[in-house]
Amino acid sequence: MAQQNTEHMSTLRDLYIEQLRDLYDAETQLTKALPKMAAAASSPDLKKGFTQHLEQTQNHVQRLQQILTGMGVGLGGKPCEAMKGLIKEGDEVMKIKGDADVKDAALIAAAQRVEHYEMAGYGVVRTFAQHLGQSEAKKLLQSTLDEEGETDKKLTSLAEGGLFKSGINDKAMNGDDSNASSKKK
């Protein structure tokens, strides 16, 4: 969440705008991070998942733009520190060397933290929009919230259906020597 201490905030509308700007910055950061996540993923399905969510994310940025400009206010420009931190953790995952499936699982873990952060943010602004009688904005924000939720579920099924079944866990449990030695640095 961005620091907006210098801004005057006396109404729910003020807070709503601050929260929208925070999300706008967070989503903008993500449009730069997701291509790197896609490049770092080994599983073709995971790569595709990140690329597809990049397209959705670009649309999320546009929806926020549409809502803020529709209210006659600027887009802000204050960084979302929380998203910066989440992306930094993702960057650290990208540097991991070792088993490709384990790295993919780590990328999924980082990505799911991002989706949950977004879901929390959109749940808040969706509810604010509802209380402020902004029905059109509420619809747009609900659509984004739904897409973040679907992405989170898709990441879970990629981990459970693909990676885990294909054996990242089995390799460890069976003490697969070739894999174990490749993991030692």
Residue 82's alpha-carbon distances to 3, 19, 36, 94, 107, in angstroms, are 10, 13, 19, 19, 18
Asked if residue 101 binds Fe ion (CB under 5 A), the reply is: no
Q: How far is the CB of 19 from Fe ion (least distance, A)?
A: 14
d(CA 33, CA 54): 9
CA 11 to chain centre: 28
d(CA 17, CA 163): 40
Q: How far is the CB of 78 from Fe ion (least distance, A)?
A: 18
Task: State which of residues 22, 101, 104, 148 lies at the interface with Fe ion (CB under 5 A).
Answer: 148
Fill in the per-residue mask, 30 to 49: x = in contact with Fe ion (CB under 5 A), - = not in contact: --------------------
Task: State which of residues 21, 60, 63, 126 lies at the interface with Fe ion (CB under 5 A).
Answer: 60
Q: How far is the CB of 60 from Fe ion (least distance, A)?
A: 4
Asked if residue 103 binds Fe ion (CB under 5 A), the reply is: no
d(CA 22, CA 31): 15
Residues that bind Fe ion (CB under 5 A): 57, 60, 118, 148
